[in-house]
Amino acid sequence: MSEEKKERAPIHLSSADIERAFKKVEEFQKLVKKGKTPQQIFEELTRLVEVDE
């Protein structure tokens, strides 16, 4: 039962993608310094993306 690895598509990142990621990390670190826990931050983010049925 040998399985060959499937060829993966390459991942392309632009400098804008990297800059955006660094900004998000900085935002996260600021929230943690203000006393928010990662769990609280995650819950707030999920509330923002919830869809009403």
Most confident of 6-10, 37-41, 45-49: 37-41
DSSP 3-state assignment of 38? Answer: helix
Which residues neighbour 31 within 8 Å (Cβ) at sequence distance 6 or greater?
41
pLDDT in tens, 11-29: 999 999 999 999 999 999 9
Assigned domain for 29 exists? yes
Q: Which two tokens stand for residue 32?
A: 């943690």
pTM: 0.58
Q: What is the pLDDT of residue 5?
A: 75
Question: How many folded domains does the chain comprise?
Answer: 1
Assigned domain for 8 exists? no
The larger pLDDT score, comparing residue 5 to residue 13, is at 13
For residue 27, the enclosing domain spans 15-49
Q: Which two tokens stand for residue 13?
A: 């990142």
Which residues neighbour 28 within 8 Å (Cβ) at sequence distance 6 or greater?
41
Assigned domain for 10 exists? no
Whether the Cβ atoms of residue 38 and residue 32 lie closer than 8 Å to each other: yes
